[in-house]
Structure 1
Amino acid sequence: MDQYALVTGASRGIGKAVAFQLAKDGFNLLLHYNQNTEKANELKKEIELSGRQVKLIQGDFNSNEGIEEFIEKARKLLNKKKDISLHTIVHNAGHATSSGFGDVNFNEFDQVFSANVKAPYFITQSLVDFLVPNGRIINLSSGVTRIAFPHMMIYAMTKGAINTMTFTLAKELGAKGITVNSVMPGIIDTDSTASWLHTEEGQENAKNMSALEREGQPEEIANVISFLASEKASFITGHNVDVTGGSQL
């Protein structure tokens, strides 16, 4: 039976790099996307050229209804396709930033927590029974959980919740052989960071933040996720892996 990995937020950035890497590792893919149907289909076609199977699942994680609809689609697919063995879930989708402390309103607060915390929690709760006994759950956290950034406090709070969910779920699911870990990226060069990172000030900030004096690449995050999804990481669980390039050491 072919093993599948589910990657949320896969149409661009880190999620896209993760999808490509897991395909190279031999996984077939269930790829979530929200609005960018064109990019999702392009990614599907490109990965299928390598011989891997890809199934797309659309979902809007900004509301309870959107999360529930995605879960229903995923469960229906997993129930229908008996040849799908779900090995890995990578929770990558979410809002990458938030407004500053004094500017956040109720709507933004709810949307950021919905996409960044509620979605991975309830998707895991609903799909965990489909995971194989030695399955993997890998959450995308952030280096901001150990560095104070008041201008994006709500985002940082959601990633702190993800860290707590990671080690708590590791304890909950350990008896089933399922490992749960999170990856904490630093400043990564993606389309969502390009507007400020690809400036003289942005480059200087990235250089000053990292011990390696540079920003990271999506593939460098994907490599760590690839390791955590592999048998080489079979005895690692409940761990938050810092992949910030040594930010703020």
Structure 2
Amino acid sequence: MFQALENKVALVTGGSHGIGRAIAERFARDGAVVGIGYGHDADSATNVVEQIRKAGGSAFAVHTELGLPGDAARLWAAFDAAGREYALDGRIDVLVNNAAKGSFAYLADVTEESFDQVMAISVKAPFFITQQALPRLRDGGRIINISSLSATLASPYAIAYGVAKGALDAFTLSLAQDLGSRGITVNSVAPGVIRTRNNAHLDQDEQAAARAVARMALNRLGEPEDVADVVAFLASRDGRWVTGQVIDASGGTAL
């Protein structure tokens, strides 16, 4: 049976849970060898790898704490070491910059320390991870940045997070122009409210969940797989003619 990512190698940062995990699992089903990037939750990363391998896929865990000086170099060194069993020779076909730092505070309550952390993990890390990926990334490859609707819709309670995701989208556009001559596509995918651990409170707060759903044309909360399927399209050959785009994956929020 044809697999859309057969013989491809992918890295998904923040791949141990939520949207990142769903993307990693979808890539593995599509035939890719998948590096599962994680910073803290080794148990979850190990579980993802085990579940993928149990299903017949190929995956390995890549441990690096992002947001610290030198994190990009350490990530790629960890990728090489952990992926040695698959004889990858350092190559990669698909990079998904998913890892991010959530921030939920109004401007008056944002500290310099928390702002710097959001920017270091959500902007600086993907910037330099991507920079160091370029010699590894094969022509015709894919870079997919996981953004957020917070970059384009007013989100006063997540103002630092929205600023970071807006910067990531600007990075996407410039990088798409820069890498087009190599046949490399670069896109952002911008989810809305998705059932992840960051939104776990919605499972207990029916009124808050109802308010969120009321803004969505498709009338339900999003699931990680809803986003993963969009990312899988962009990573596949079918997505070869889409680049420099910020793709709304929010179920039609605030139309």
The two structures have a TM-score, normalised by structure 2, of 0.92
- 1:82 is displaced (CA, Å) by 4.3
Q: Separation in 2 of the partners of 1:189 and 1:79?
A: 34
Q: Which runs of 5+ in 2 are unaligned?
A: 1-5
**1-structure distance, mates of 2:215, 2:209:** 10
CA distance in 2, matches of 1:130, 1:79: 15
- Report the counterpart of residue 208 of structure 1 in structure 2: 214
Per the TM alignment, residue 55 of structure 1 is displaced from its structure 2 partner at its CA by 1.8
Amino acid at match of 1:134: G
Match of 1:191 among 197, 204, 211: 197
Aligned residue in 1 for 2:42: 37
**Is residue 159 from structure 1 mapped to residue 159 from structure 2 by the alignment?**
no
Q: Counterparts of 1:127-166 in structure 2 under 5 Å?
A: 127-166=133-172
Q: 2:59 aligns with which of 54, 64, 72?
A: 54
Shift of 1:234: 0.5
AA of the residue aligned to 1:125: Q
What is residue 16 of structure 1 aligned with on the other side? Answer: 21
For 2:79, the equivalent position in structure 1 comes to 74
What are the Cα deviations for residues 117-172 of structure 1, in whole angstroms up to 9, with x where unaligned?
01110000001111111100000011111210111110000000011011100001
| Equivalent of 2:224 in 209, 213, 218 | 218
Task: Tell me whether 160-169 or 199-208 shows the greater mean CA deviation.
Answer: 199-208
- Given the alignment, which residue of 127, 152, 155 partners 1:121? 127
**Structure 1: gaps (5+ residues):** none
Residue type of the partner of 1:124?
T
Shifted more, 191-200 versus 63-72: the winner is 63-72
Q: Give the stretch that moved more between structures: 43-52 or 173-182.
A: 43-52
Q: Which amino acid aligns with 1:57?
A: V
Evaluate the alpha carbon distance shift between residue 57 and residue 124 of structure 1 in structure 2; reply closer, same or farther with a 3 A threshold: same
| CA distance in 2: counterparts of 1:108 and 1:140, whole angstroms | 20
Which of 54, 61, 69 in structure 2 is aligned with 1:64?
69
Give the distance between the partners of 1:89 and 1:70, measured in 2 at CA.
12
Q: Output the aligned Cα RMSD.
A: 1.9
Deviation at 1:190, TM superposition (A): 1.0
Distance 1:195 1:34 in 2: 23
Q: Is the 8 A contact 1:19 1:29 kept in 2?
A: yes
